A and B are shown apart, each in its own frame.
Chain A
Amino acid sequence: MNSLILRTAVPALVGLMLLFSIYVLLRGHNEPGGGFIGGLIGASAFAIYTIAEGLASARRALIVPPITIAGVGLLFAALSGVVSLFFGDAFLTGQWWFPAFNPDLKYLSTVVLFDIGVYLVVVGAIVGIAFALEERE
């Protein structure tokens, strides 16, 4: 789309949206939500970028194909469930690691890994759909 306003606003908007999506991902991991809603916000950022800058530069900005992102995310989510095998717990049981240098750090857990996986699946799938729709136009 050839709109000067959009093209001027997009770099700032996309950066903010991606930052906010990661904030939501990490904020949400102990609340309901997290990965899914963060992934949707992240995917919207790429969708806006695609509308403003075109498909080719959006693909360059993403570096890897969106479907690969989704696959890696699914892998993260699946493997986060297997980690509990080594701690004698049931499949998908959350495992936390509180490092000695900062015992209050609460992000080093398989639960967050699972949420990151969900985030990547959502970003990959939605951006893939957005690219496919853009391609047809």
Chain B
Amino acid sequence: MTGLRYVYAVCRPFDTPLQAQLGGVAGDPPRLLPHGDLVAVVSHVPEADFGEEALRAHLEDLDWLTATARAHQQVVDALTAVTTPLPLRLATVFRDDSGVRVMLEERESAFRRTLDRLEGRVEWGVKVYVEPERTEQADSERSAAPAEPEQRPVSGRDYLRRRRRQSRANEDLWSRAEEFATGLHRTLSGRADDARLHAPQNPRLSGAEGRNVLNAAYLVGRDASEEFVEMVDRTKDDAPGIRVELTGPWAAYSFAGEQEGTEEGAGKKAGEDS
């Protein structure tokens, strides 16, 4: 019993060897499984952990999910260093090598189309956060009259006035943030080959400060990436109370589906598959 096959990605054949000390999911270093002019990158994983029942249970175990997701990403990342991989969704598992080969054969033309579309491109993640708790500070920095900065309210009326000012400042910040995010997305989309909007992240999951108002992914050529990153970087002085985070380069996870040019949430693309 050699276990099941966990598939990370599908690539075109490549010559450069993968970085040596890759752990792989379940501690099994990734192997290349060539078929035709495609290569599946697989690990052998135990049925006890990756059979249907076990997998379902494991996916609700945050520690297990974290370790598996990181191992998956590590392999895809290593592939990204030597080729343009087409990453598969987490936990795509086959019975044996021949199951993987059949899959490669059945989907060959779709894989080739998608690989052509992604060739030489990477994904950059850009998130915009609003930090309302900083409004007061940001406001007093901008305000011409920072009259009563740190003083406690002296009366009920004073308190209410401050509350009102604070809430106006927040509203102002929200509308500026929306405008900013929309503008940034438009600008970056113009520089990218494709764009996707992910659902804003729950701050309790991310642990990030502030509220996530834009969570976007951009498909950018490797040779255009430096310029893209600089462009994101230049937004830094544009807006107080707003924070921009850049992640990447990623393999083109968010663009692995076959639909092009749409900006639906990546999750919606699942429907095309059957």
Genuine A/B complex: no
